[in-house]
Amino acid sequence: MNSKSHHTNLIKTEAKRLGFLSCGISKAEFLEDEAPRLENWLHKNMHGEMSYMTNHFDKRLNPTLLVPDSKSVVSLLLNYFPEETQTNNTYKISKYAYGEDYHVVIKDKLRQLLNFIQDEIGEVHGRAFTDSAPVLDKAWAAKSGLGWIGKHSNLITKSNGSFYFIAELIIDLELDYDYAVTDHCGNCTACIDACPTQAITEPYVVDGSKCISYFTIELKNEIPSDMKGKFNDWMFGCDICQDVCPWNRFSKTHKEPLFNPNQELLSMSKKDWEEITEEVFRKVFEKSAVKRTKYSGFIRNINFLKS
């Protein structure tokens, strides 16, 4: 086995040991196919008030601008599909936010993986990314053969559906590269049909400014009144397009204790949420990504749902 293959195997084995669902590797190069798509999406203002999406356009498409002399993008998936979900007939939050903030959990694992690479292989330079820099996570994961991008624009795998986080290490080490897999959405339009705000404007195109996740997390102003009655009780994020996807019949429960929810979260009724105090909010979401909305934003969402 040559050193390139040996290094590739070492990295993939360690990624598995750290609890990642899968690991794929692609060459660090300009994402030629993504450039016109991203440009068109931004031109149509589908990013809404997420102005940061317009920043660093070149860096989003070219990893060598983020990590000089980078050779490889190591893409990783980390499962977050929960064993238990919230009770029926309550206000809901996205499953990804049940446990501790994924940024913190994944960054720690990525640091461990990078340290391992440096200890085992030698002087390797790189950076870790998880939804925290201008990196097109899903495009790299698809290019690395970890799945295909579905009509709802999320990455899907045959064996595990789509309830997982995507992260990357961009490093200056040449490795064996994987190949993209084929699309298996077929004629299915379940996600498009189920979206209550018609955010999936056409297959594979999501208007971010119409998405329930955007309104409940990213939007800082008041939620537009024409959205009333369309949120299906989602108060933070939304899982509708993933919940209806046939491939998520194959989702398996995660094995990451840090993603286990506060039990109080699972049992709270609509009345409990409507009466939530700032103290209880801080306790229930102590280390959760839900804190991004702050208490005031969270209450805004609940008031919008009950009005």
Q: Would you name the residues annotated as active-site residues?
A: 131
For 200-215, letters b (16+ CB in 10 Å) and e give beeeebbbbbbbbbbb
For 99-127, letters b (16+ CB in 10 Å) and e give bbbbeebbbebbeebbebbeeeeeebebb
Helices (H) and strands (E) in the chain, counts: 12, 10
* Cα-based angle 142, 41, 50 (whole degrees, multiple of 5): 95
* Sign, Cα dihedral of 191, 54, 128, 69: positive
> Parallel, antiparallel, or unpaired: how do β-strands 155-156 and 72-79 relate?
unpaired
Largest CA distance in the chain: 65
Closest to 76 in 3D by CA, of 4, 217, 178: 178
The torsion defined by the Cα of 221, 222, 224 and 228, in degrees rounded to 10, comes to 140
| H-type alpha helices, the chain | 3-17, 34-43, 57-61, 102-121, 137-143, 190-194, 212-213, 240-243, 263-267, 270-274, 278-284, 294-306
Q: Beta partners for 234? A: 92
